[in-house]
Each structure stands twice: as structure tokens, then as C-alpha cells.
Amino acid sequence: MADMKKLPVTYPTITSWQWHATLFSILSDDENAKKWIFSNYIQLRCYNIQEIFTGDEMLLTDMMPGSSSLKQCPYLVFSLLTKAQIESYCGNIIDFIIKTIDLNGYVYGVFDEAKILCDAEVDYKFPHELFIYGYNRDEEIFYVGDFTFQDHYSYNTVSFSDIERGYEVITEKDDHVFKDDYKGGRGLYVVMKNSDTVCYDVDIELIKTTLREYLNSMDTKNHFRMMRNRFNDTTFGIKVYDKTLAQIERQVHAEEPDYDIRALHVMYDHKVLMLERIKYLMNNGYLKYNQDTIDEYETVVTNMLTARNLLVRISITGEIEAASRFKKYFDTAKEKEVCVLFRILAELEEN
Amino acid sequence: MDKEQINKKLEEVIRDVLPDVEDINMTSSITDIYGVNSVSLIRLIVAAESKFDVQFSDYELALSSYDTFGDLAATISEKLAQ
């Protein structure tokens, strides 16, 4: 076995959830994978759930195919391994991860990051997905990607012993990745890049269908039956703007405000990716090149970014009176986005 | 307030908000060299507003507007001149 190996990663285009940051860390700059990426991630959905760690209510917003993307993307080879398999094949988790990386497999799964982050023993758990892409046997460290180590997505190192402790204490109940797959038990995902040849071309029919469903806020559950669709109160598409705005207003005016920027960050990432999609479709002849359309959609991105930054600012200063400005940014972004996307949909349908 | 005074005051803000930062170079990349992200930038801006008695608009909170601490100093300078 080598002393050190790092699989390639690129800082992800979108970082809103760990599953997206992982997929985009592996595939962001891959031209073949863009064919799948830009055919997907169009529909937005949101629903209220109880936060895993705190039990507080949160608005979970995501782009479809959401956390199923690692399994569904044809430019990745995905394997799910149970804890029993890992132990049977390798004896321990450290050897398993090193051997997997030696075979060009990235590792993804739930670890107790409280054990990883705190030097002292702590009496609580913070089960969170960790993305592992390399190791160094001399320094006894793994190279990982996560949000937990800084207040944004970043690449860091974690010692072998912390990974071992963080893995061992996770129970079946804590392993939300396996639970979300409707699987009992616990374990890890192994993900390999599979993009040497084109196995999936740009799917214009899917783009048209999901754009239509996004713009009309239609229920898209049936397209994504492999996903977690266990919630009945899901809001889809453009109506996610209204739901998110209502959620922010509730948050900032609560007796003890809880500033959760995640829904806004997902919406911002959705616009970033949509802008990239529009440019890609223009550059590859699926749409006529039109700088005005790009400029118009850039105002959508700017307004969503401004709304997200405003919430960060309010969380720092506590100036809740500034919350009245959210509506302006949301209304501008929504109005522009609807206008641009209907025009793009019409052009795609004409072709 | 001249450029040197603005830079000196801004350095105090940076040391206060980002205590891990050691040598401050006003022309180095704030993301690559100092690890500034969108949240820490807004913390810096809020502290700078108070220190310099200026106001940044919501659109001026974007990380992409500032490559270096010098860019932040330039924006503050423009606001002071208004």
C-alpha cells in the first residue's frame, strides 16, 4: 500500500448539502458529467422536518434528485457496504478506507463529528456525513471534505484515531444515510468516478419537463420515486420562494430568533447552477446565444445571494427590522426567473 | 482620513474579527491566503461599519466584490469621501 494518496477533488460549484458538495467535488470540472448534471437539479422542493440533532423544526429545501444523486448519477459507480461487510473484508475501518482509496474509491458516510472535533470526551453525538478522498499513512491522517470544520464547505484533515472513534460510536439509529435509503443497519458508501466515456447525453426532454414542472410548482414526486418522498406537505418549484420567505419571516420574528440560512443557500445554489445550465445550453447549441438572457438571469443570482447575505448580516447584528428587505430581493428574483425560464422553455419546445 | 490611516484602522478590525490572521497584506487574496468566506466577510464588514461609521448596502456584502483587504479599504475610503 502507498504511504499517501489523494484522489482528485475540485472545490464544488454548489455546496448547499453534503451530498451535492461530494458529487460536485468529484465531478464539477468533468465535461461528460455536465451532460447529466445540467439535465438534472432543476426541480426544487421543500418540506418541514425535525432537525436530526436539535429536534427543532427546519425547512428542508433541496434540488432534485437530492441526496439520491450519488446513487443515480451515471458518471459515478456507487456501492453501499454494511458495517458487517466492512469488518469482514478488512477487519477495521482504517484499513477499509485506505484500501478503498487505493482502488480509486471515495468514501462517504455518517461519522460522529463531535468525537472528531472535540479533543475532550463529549457526552453528545453530532452524526454527520463525511466525504473522505485521501490518506497519509506517515501522518496518520485522512483528507476529508465537510462543512463542520469551518463555517463553510472546506477540505481538511482528520486523524486515523478520530475517524475510528467517530465511526465506532454511530448506531443504526444515528446513521441517517442508511435510514434514508430505507435500509436497516449501518455502513458506508463507496463512490468511484465513471466518466471516461459518454454514457448519458444531455436530456432535453427531461430539462423541458422539469422546467415546466418547476415553473408550475407541480408535484414531481413520481419522477423521483427513488428519493425520500415520505412527506405529504412538500412544496415544489417556484412556490418554494413563498415558503422560504414565510419561513424567514417566522425565524426573524420569533421570540428567540433562529437564523437558519440553509434554505436560502440551497435556493442561491439552485440559481448558480441554473445560470451555468443556461450558458452550457447556449454554448452547446441547444439554445441560441443571448447575452441579455444571461444578464437577466444574473440578476436572479445576485438577488438570491443578497437575500442570503442579508440573513447572515441579521444573524450577526440582530437588526430584525432589515428583514423587510427580503421581500424585495425575493420578488425581484422570482419575477425575473419566471420570465427568463418561460422564454427558455418556449425556445426549447420550438426546437 | 488618508489611505494609510484607513489601512491601519482596518487592520485593527481584521485582527479583532479574524484573530488567527498573523501578517496582514492588503494585496493578498482574502480567500486563498486568509481563508475569508462569505460569513466571515460579513462579520468584517459589520465591524468595519462600526469602526469607520459607514454603511454598506446589502449588495455590497458579496464576497466576490473583494479580492483583497485593499479592496475593502478602497470601498471604505469611497464611503468616507461621500
Instruction: Please answer yes or no on whether B38 and A150 come within 8 Å at the CB atom.
Output: no
- Cis peptide leading into residue B19 (ω within 30°): no
Helix (H, G, I), strand (E, B) or coil at B82: coil
Predicted confidence (pLDDT) per residue in B19-78, tens digit? 988 899 999 999 989 989 999 999 999 999 999 999 999 999 999 999 999 999 999 999
Put simply, whether A351 touches B (Cβ < 8 Å) is no
* Contact by Cβ (8 Å): A68, A227: yes
Confidence of residue A172 (pLDDT cuts 50, 70, 90): confident
Instruction: Please answer yes or no on whether A329 and B40 come within 8 Å at the CB atom.
Output: no
- φ, ψ at A159 (rounded to 5°): -70, 155
Q: Chain A partners of B50 at a C-beta cutoff of 8 Å?
A: none
**Angstroms from A226 CA to nearest CA on chain B:** 34
| Closest residue in chain A to residue B59, using alpha carbons only | A306
Predicted confidence (pLDDT) per residue in A228-251, tens digit? 656 678 899 999 999 999 999 888
- Residue A110 pLDDT > 80: yes
Put simply, whether A305 touches B (Cβ < 8 Å) is yes
Out of A109-113, A256-260, A312-316, B30-34, pick the least confident. A256-260
| Mean pLDDT over the full length of chain A | 90
Out of A126-140, A170-184, A333-347, B58-72, pick the least confident. A170-184
Put simply, whether A311 touches B (Cβ < 8 Å) is no
Nearest to B74 by CA among B16, B27, B17, B13: B27
Residue type for position A349? E
Residue A222, classified by CB atoms within 10 Å of its CB into exposed (0-12), middle (13-18) or buried (19+), is: exposed
Confidence of residue A152 (pLDDT cuts 50, 70, 90): confident
Q: At what angle do helices A93-102 and A83-90 cross, to 10 degrees?
A: 80
Confidence of residue A351 (pLDDT cuts 50, 70, 90): confident
- Tell me what pLDDT residue B66 has: 96
- Tell me what pLDDT residue A272 has: 97
Q: Chain A partners of B61 at a C-beta cutoff of 8 Å?
A: 306, 309-310, 312-313
**Partner-chain residue, chosen from B45, B46, B58, that has the shortest CB–CB distance to A325:** B58
**Partner-chain residue, chosen from B39, B40, B58, that has the shortest CB–CB distance to A310:** B58
Instruction: Please answer yes or no on whether A313 and B35 come within 8 Å at the CB atom.
Output: no
State the sign of the Cα–Cα–Cα–Cα dihedral A259, A263, A267, A268: positive
How far, in Å, are A93, A148, A162, B4 from residue A157 at the CA level?
16, 12, 10, 39
Nearest to A127 by CA among A172, A82, A170, A180: A170
Q: Chain B partners of A329 at a C-beta cutoff of 8 Å?
A: 58
Instruction: Please answer yes or no on whether B37 and A152 come within 8 Å at the CB atom.
Output: yes
Interface pTM, i.e. ipTM: 0.95
Confidence of residue A120 (pLDDT cuts 50, 70, 90): low
Put simply, whether B81 touches A (Cβ < 8 Å) is no
Residue type for position A243? K
Dihedral through CA A239, CA A269, CA A42, CA A81, nearest 10?
-120
Residues 196-255 of A with CB under 8 A from B: none
Nearest to B33 by CA among B53, B17, B18, B50: B18
Instruction: Please answer yes or no on whether A312 and B37 come within 8 Å at the CB atom.
Output: no
- Tell me what pLDDT residue A181 has: 67
Instruction: Please answer yes or no on whether A302 and B37 come within 8 Å at the CB atom.
Output: no
Gyration radius of chain A over CA positions = 21
